Structure 1
Amino acid sequence: MSAVSGAREAGPGAVRVLIVDDEPELTELLSWAVTDAGWQPFLAADGHGALGLARGCAPHAVVLDGMLPDLDGVQVLRRLRYENAGLPVLMLTARDTLEHRIDGLSAGADDYVTKPFSLEEVMLRLRGLLRRSGADAAAADESVRVLGDLVLAEKTRQVRRGGEAIALTAKEFDLLHFLMRHPRQVLSKAQILDHVWNSSFESEGNLVEVYVYSLRGKLDKGRPPMIHTVRGAGYVIRAAGEGR
């Protein structure tokens, strides 16, 4: 399973929930429930993928399986807690023992659900964690844009793709921000000049082409491309792998 499999586009205000489990059927069910709640699901099938994805998507909450194929769930929980002490985490486990529950709660889990579980119960507990942490309300004021594995934080002007930080110049960031505000929409050179450089003159030469080329070099290098040229029309940004 891809680390961002099932992730959908989310604009500012979306509550992001990281789901970490190596059971595809269960992950699909949880992803559906999270989406139905109006939240943004991000999926990881192992501990290392979860840690990388958490750094990239900055989740508001995590649903974490206690048994993963590479790292123990408690190990993942401790690392998540080290990087974000206030991140709400709901642990899932097939081991219904007091000792295991104590281990998870001691490592920083906010709540604990034993498999098999009721989907309604998981969602109720998750809503409670978001409400108590204030994450649900805070998300409405947070300017974070997500497209596939690309995350742009407007307030901090930080960009990550696949969990990896990407350093951009001020104008490269402004250009990417404008493209991400209009995903899958073809934007002309004139529109880009007007919104990014506050200029309506096409006499700026190849300014747009130069910056698009530079942005592609940083954003798409070694990865499936996201920024595409539409000959004679302009440029468009899409999640990697999306059709035209």
Structure 2
Amino acid sequence: MRLLIVEDEPTLARQLRETLEGAGYAVDVANDGEEGHFLGSSESYDAIVLDLGLPEMDGLTVLDKWRKADIGIPVLVLTARDSWSDKVAGLDAGADDYLAKPFQMEELIARLRALIRRSTGNASSELEAGDVRLDTRSGRVTLSGTPVRLTAQEYKLLAYLMHHKGKVVSRTELIEHIYDQDFDRDSNTIEVFITRIRKKLGADLIQTIRGLGYSLDDPQAA
């Protein structure tokens, strides 16, 4: 899953990036509203963390522009601790959730996980496909109840496919959603990771749809 952080305070932006990368997300950072608006309008993200007090273009304006352009990426706004008016304004402008500063990083991660689950139609933190289970809270993957060790990139790829179970996901979409903007998009690593996941979790779990991409189906639903 790929996230955008729009935050102008350097220390907080760095802490957010390090924490979210440590939780398994690919993360891009924008340090002002104009850059944040551009990235949110031109790149593919699964969720955005947006500070409201930004230079160049304030967060409410950024959010309003995204929503008027029909950009429906889930947005978590960061507000001042006691500013209830900022919370109301953010929600009215199209935010999906808010968090008041200062906050605990664990709560931020939990709220982002919930936003991503809701946006992909998944109510539970545990995703299932046949005998494979992936717990988004713990990052634990099991096959028929037995833990399976995946690398960080294998986990990211599997998690994205499981969030979009039953849909055809193109190679380009996978790259856009599991890597940050600096990734070499001509790399063949997607194919390599798909092969490794099949070896660990079963050859039939991920289907190759010729000319279109990949689909993760539930064998028990067939």
TM-score range, shorter chain: 0.5 to 0.7
CA RMSD, Structure 1 to Structure 2 (Å)? 2.6
Task: Report how far residue 96 of structure 1 moved.
Answer: 2.3
Gaps of 5+ in 2: 122-159, 191-222
In structure 2, C-alpha distance between the alignment counterparts of 1:79 and 1:105, rounded to whole Å: 14
Q: Give 1:102's match in structure 2, choosing from 88, 108, 113.
A: 88
Structure with larger Rg: 1
In structure 1, C-alpha distance between the alignment counterparts of 2:38 and 2:71, rounded to whole Å: 17
CA contact (8 A) 1:89 1:111 kept: yes
Q: Give 1:138's match in structure 2, choosing from 155, 158, 164.
A: 164
Task: Report how far residue 180 of structure 1 moved.
Answer: 2.7
Question: Secondary structure of the residue that 1:18 maps to in structure 2?
Answer: strand
Alpha carbons of structure 1 residues 129 and 182: separation in structure 2 relative to 1, 3 Å: closer
In structure 2, C-alpha distance between the alignment counterparts of 1:127 and 1:18, rounded to whole Å: 14
The count of corresponding residues between Structure 1 and Structure 2 is 144
Aligned residue in 1 for 2:31: 45
Q: Report the TM-score, using the length of structure 2 for normalisation.
A: 0.58
Q: Report the TM-score, using the length of structure 1 for normalisation.
A: 0.53
In structure 2, C-alpha distance between the alignment counterparts of 1:142 and 1:123, rounded to whole Å: 27
Alpha carbons of structure 1 residues 181 and 138: separation in structure 2 relative to 1, 3 Å: same
CA contact (8 A) 1:17 1:60 kept: yes
In structure 2, C-alpha distance between the alignment counterparts of 1:31 and 1:21, rounded to whole Å: 10
Gaps of 5+ in 1: 1-14, 152-175, 184-244
Task: Report how far residue 22 of structure 1 moved.
Answer: 0.5
In structure 1, C-alpha distance between the alignment counterparts of 2:35 and 2:93, rounded to whole Å: 20
CA contact (8 A) 1:90 1:111 kept: yes
Q: Which amino acid aligns with 2:62?
A: V
Q: Which amino acid aligns with 1:34?
A: L
Query: What CA deviation, in whole Å up to 9, does each residue of 1:81-100 have, x standing for no partner?
Result: 22344210000022522222
Identity %: 38
Task: Report how far residue 27 of structure 1 moved.
Answer: 0.9
